[in-house]
Amino acid sequence: MQQIDRRTFIKRSSVVSAGVVTGLAVTENAPAVSNPSDRVNIGIIGIRNRGKEHYRALSKIPNVRIAKLCDIDQRLLPEAVSDVERLTGYRPGTETEYRKILEDKDIDAVTIATPNHWHALQTIWACQAGKDVYVEKPVSHTILEGRRMVEAARKYSRVVQTGTQARSAFPMKKAIEFIRENGIGDVYMAKGLCIKPRASIGHVQDGEIPEGVNWDAFLGPAPYRHFNLNRFHYRWHWFWDTGCGDLGNQGIHQADIARWALGKTAHPVKIQGSGHKFIQDSDQETPNVQHLTFEYGDSSILEFEVRGLPSNKEGGISVGNLIFGSRGWMSIENEDAGRSEVRYGELNLLPIGYSSYKEQAGPVFSNESPETADAVKDHFLNFLGCVRSRNWHDLHADILEGHVSTTLCHLGNIACRLRRTLEFDPAGETFVNDREANSFLTKTYRAPYLLPETV
């Protein structure tokens, strides 16, 4: 198979430190793969949890080579390498420094499954280095980061897919198609539900950095803190330095589907929210219960609830969506279940002035072949098709879509932290006459892991 030297690297007078790349650039509009028959070489960044899903899905796709695996925890690499070799017959290389992946001219694209606070910088640097990117959700840690990511993708003509794989799931696409065809009438409200009880993380004392872990690289742009297991693998979701709580962890999928159902491409103009950490005595900083309302310029509403404690289902749904229209409503289960149901209603006015609502079942959209359906694989197929065609417009979840949906999560968290109603300017992506709220649009970065003012 022909290997293509397709990038010209330009040195800049900027800092390059372990795990940090600010000095790599590429000529704009550089092709990623010369023609559709070329193999795509991929580097996977972060190989725990979602990273495993990445290489397992990619291993099912022809003409793809998982060239390298990268993680700051060296202890994870041997098992991951064995998994990839077993699945593909090819033994990938390994790196512990992200910049080494970007310097490798043979790598066409990277997938990023690192903690939230790393997504923006790694995506921007990859675009500057001429790599296409598949970045996990939520795409950013702040609203400004998301905007910079969009700017980088466009400036360097990169294909950047967001890891909201419901956009590639058959039942989700059919459900949205049904809504667009006026199947439930005029949609006036969509609701996202993340009813997902989680155990308390308790209290953990600081400890020694485990051998094989680059703790400084894990923290990256976050403030330096002593090593703590509660701030490391997966539990980083529950701390503001590195995560966005369950609203950004699981809820981003349902927020994205709700916005998709409403047909909104702009941000909301008003946000109301309340949220707290109830019951549990633990190190967790993010809320485990949230109730949010987003109002758009046309007065349509997007609601969201996070319930991380024991709770009932709503409309038969624990993790999913409820979509409300003038003719009926739709329930959408979590994309892993792959099912959505429509209910119709008929309003009958009674002579005495009361009304009754008669409900009947509508169509059901589910995976045509549940045993083989794989939304993650299908999402990667869409990404790889666009890598080869160089047409990012065909992405199911382009970085701009990811930015707009992720902004919902940031707005909701900010409203909860400030405990008051917020007004937002969608065009300027700033809060209206609200200095305190605007301070949450960005954050302080630990040098040299700095968000560039211009990409």
- Pairing relation of β-strands 339-349 and 328-333? antiparallel
**Total residues found in the chain within this entry:** 455
Pick the CATH number of 170-368+403-432 from 3.20.20.140, 3.30.1490.20, 3.30.360.10, 3.30.930.10: 3.30.360.10
Cis peptide before 351 (omega within 30 of 0): no
Cβ neighbours for 218, distance < 8 A, ≥ 6 positions apart: 72, 73, 115, 232
pLDDT of residue 65: 97
The pLDDT assigned to 447 comes to 97
Q: What is the mean pLDDT of residues 364-371?
A: 70
Angle at 233 between CA 227 and CA 238, to 5 degrees: 85
Distance of CA 47 to the CA centre of its chain: 16
Which of the four pLDDT bands, split at 50, 70 and 90, describes residue 9? very low
DSSP for residue 54: H
Write down the pLDDT at residue 33: 56
Average of per-residue pLDDT across 185-195? 96
Look at strands 301-307 and 187-195 and give their pairing.
Answer: parallel
**Which of 244, 273, 203 minimizes the C-alpha distance to 420?**
273
Q: CA-to-CA distance for 106 and 99, rounded, in angstroms? A: 14
Contact of 160 with 127, CB cutoff 8 Å: yes
Domain locations in the chain as residue ranges = 170-368+403-432
Share of the chain above pLDDT 90, in %: 78
Confidence of residue 170 (pLDDT cuts 50, 70, 90): confident
Rg (CA), the chain: 22
Q: Could you give the CA distance from residue 401 to residue 135 in angstroms, rounded to a whole number? A: 12
Residues 401, 99, 235: CA angle, nearest 5 degrees: 60
Q: What is the pLDDT of residues 229-274, one digit of tens each?
A: 999 999 999 999 999 999 999 999 999 999 999 999 999 999 999 9
Average pLDDT in the 315-342 region?
Answer: 82
Q: How many of the other CB atoms lie within 10 Å of CB of 437?
A: 21
CA 165 to chain centre: 9
At 69 the pLDDT is 98
Burial of 216 (0-12, 13-18, 19+ CB in 10 A): middle
Query: What distance in Å separates the CA atoms of residue 288 and residue 430, rounded to the nearest whole number?
Result: 26
Pairing of strands 430-431, 422-425: antiparallel
Beta bridge partners of 291: 274, 305
What is d(CA 306, CA 288) in angstroms, rounded to the nearest whole number?
Answer: 7
Q: What pLDDT does 138 receive?
A: 98
Segment 379-435, tens digit of pLDDT = 999 999 999 999 999 999 999 999 999 999 999 999 999 999 999 999 999 999 999
Question: Mind listing the pLDDT tens digit for each residue in 52-111?
Answer: 999 999 999 999 999 999 999 999 999 999 999 999 999 999 999 999 999 999 999 999
Could you tell me the two tokens for 407?
């902004």
Q: Provide CB contacts within 8 A for 232, sequence distance 6+.
A: 213, 218
Please tell me the distance from the alpha carbon of residue 99 to that of residue 16, in angstroms, as a whole number: 8
State the DSSP string of 336-384: TT-EEEEEEEEEEE-TTS-EEEEEEEEEEEE-SSTTT--HHHHHHHHHH
Question: Regarding beta strands 187-195 and 109-112, do their DSSP bridges make them parallel or antiparallel, or are they unpaired?
Answer: unpaired
CA 364 to chain centre: 27
Q: Mean per-residue pLDDT for 276-293?
A: 98
